[in-house]
Amino acid sequence: ATRGAPPVLYVQGDVTALRQPQLAVVGSRRPTPAGCRIGREFAAALARAGLVITSGMAWGIDAAGHEGALEAGGTTIAVFGCGLAHRYPQENSALAERILRRGALVSEFPPWEAPRRQNFPRRNRVISGLALGTLVVEAAAESGSLITAHFAADQGREVFAVPGSVRNPLSRGCHQLIREGAHLVETPAQVLEEISFHQENQQIMQNPQVPALDKEYEMLLDALGFEPVTFDTLAARSGLSGESIASMLLILELQGRVAPYPGGRYGRINSD
């Protein structure tokens, strides 16, 4: 059992989701547009690989993680810092209803418990405790997401951090975690590798097949070439959505057809 686990969890939605392998995605409540995109893309790719995406339903990276999982057709869990009779923040009420259809809402607090500031750091141990690891995308030096990461480390879970510009204040928390021993990750495949994720649909990782007539894969491979290019260049060349590119790159990387390079670039490593 996880140390400090609550005696009871209240659940709305699919309770079986709690027994599935999970990855927590957390970060700044006020991320940059690039940070939001990264959180969304990581969540989408990891959801397609079979992981449930767990987060805290807050603005920013939390919401991006939930949305990425939903857009990928995956499952996501939102851990509340209040009772489940409340929808907090109210702006995410519609997102909560979407999560209910494809996952679960979870709280350790009785249903009518109102949102209280002191309860939100406390619920972070539930987010980290449910998951195999915690991924932090953009966090200031005093970000609450660092609390989740430290809970994860104390619970014996893996901690992952996405690095950023030294000029971006929202990179400081992630860089601090990396200095403390968190895994520096630039691709979803690196997360999967570190947690040694295996499950029923692990054929995606062991023997993924790119359909011979799948136009989107052909478009992406044509856009890649053998000289490393950036994600933005891939999107411009292929005309594909960011979510589609992220998930296809993950599969191609696991196949050994594509490799990540410094600076967020990708390149082909063998021909068809």
φ/ψ (deg, to 5) at 270? -160, 155
Tokens of 191: 């997360």
The per-residue pLDDT for 117 is 83
Q: Which residues contact 76 (CB under 8 A, 6 or more apart)?
A: 43, 47, 52, 53, 54, 55, 65, 66, 69, 70, 99, 102, 103
Structural domains in the chain, sorted by start: 10-195 (3.40.50.450), 208-268 (1.10.10.10)
Quote the pLDDT of residue 213: 35
Q: What is the mean pLDDT of each run of 10 residues along the chain (272 residues)?
A: 72 92 96 92 94 95 96 96 88 92 93 86 92 96 93 94 92 96 94 72 43 67 84 88 76 72 77 48
Cβ–Cβ under 8 Å, residues 61 and 67: no
